[in-house]
Every structure is written in structure tokens, then in C-alpha cells.
Amino acid sequence: MPEKPKILNKKVLATTRLFCIEALDLEFSNGEKRTFERLARSGSNGAVLIVPMLDAETVLLIREYSAGTDRYELGLPKGKTEPDEPILATANRELKEEVGYGARDLVHLTTVSIAPGYLEHTTDIVLARDLYEEKLPGDEPEELEVIPWKLSEIPDLLATGECTEARSIAALYLTKEFLKA
């Protein structure tokens, strides 16, 4: 593996409530220099994506409006960690807020990056099992529809055209592999 580029300089170009854009002046190990822009993680808060299994075969999806793409998306529940909140606690809280269930069994499957070329953000994927009904109030502008789906029928889910998020697709396949092993 090559030696990592040196970060010669880091500059904040713009900051908004949600985003922080940085410019990085980089020098690669071969001497080449480049300036790359990226979105820095605002604060230290991460994001969690939850795979809630109602039973051994059935995952619970939600249908939620996505402002980035301006459409409703069918996918896995997710949310941001509060300051000092452990990952599994975030997963259980968001599950209660978005899906109306808590989980007695929470397993951290892996951490994925989203667009590592220009986003510092990563997402922790948490498998939630042994569910029980519990609803917490969230900050969602509208009630989310919860849709059970068979984990064996991911191709049919993708064929609907409603489930497009790479993180959700990756998490569903990773869960299949994990449950098979």
C-alpha cells in the first residue's frame, strides 16, 4: 500500500447548520500535489442504520421522504447519534422512534463509508432482533409507514424502484450473509 498523502493544509470553505465543506491541500508520496474538497463530519456524531428483524425471515422497512432526492424512499431506518450516545443505544432509540419497536438483541455488523472520495461520514450498521412494541416520539414531520419484507426477496424489493439507497441495499445483503453464517 502506498504511503498516505500528507495533508499540507486544511481550510474551511463554508459552514451551514448541517454541513462543513473543507479544502485539503495534499501531497502524494510521489510528490504530486492536489487540492481536494470534502464534506467534513460536523461534530463527532455518527450515523446508524438499523436492520430490524421481526422474525428470522422478515425485515421491517420504512417509507420516508428524502429531501436530497426529493422522493419517498423505501429503506432501513436510520438516524444520528446524540452526543455521548453509544451506537447500540442510538439504534434502539431510532428503532422506537421510526418503527415503533425496541430490540432486546442488538449486534453491530460493520461500519460503512458512503462516498469516501468526498464525504468524511460513515454509518454503523446494527442488526436488531428479538423485537418488542414500543413507540417513542421522534422529530419526523409525518408518521412513517412500516413495511415488512422477506429477506429472501431483495430482488423483488429492488424491482419496485422504491429502494435505491446503496447503504440499505448493502445492509440487507450483509444481514443475509450474517444470518447464513
Residues that bind a copy of itself (CB under 8 A): 1-2, 4-5, 7, 13-14, 16-19, 21, 23-24, 26, 28-30, 32-34, 36-39, 63, 65-73, 78, 110-123, 141-142, 145, 154-155, 158, 164-167, 169-171, 173-174, 177, 181
Task: Answer whether 162's CB lies under 8 Å from 74's CB.
Answer: yes
Nearer to a copy of itself, 34 or 104 (CB): 34
Question: CB-wise, 119 or 136, nearer to a copy of itself?
Answer: 119
Query: Which residue, 85 or 120, is less far from a copy of itself as judged by CB?
Result: 120
Residue closer to a copy of itself by CB (options 30, 44) is: 30
Least gap, CB of 164 to a copy of itself (angstroms): 5
Evaluated on CA atoms 6, 8, 14, 16, the torsion sign reads positive
CB of 2 to a copy of itself, least distance (A): 6
Sign of CA dihedral 30, 33, 34, 39: positive
DSSP per residue, 23-84: EEEEE-TTS-EEEEEEEPPSTT--EEEEEEBSSSSEEEEEEEEETTTTEEEEE--EEEPPTT
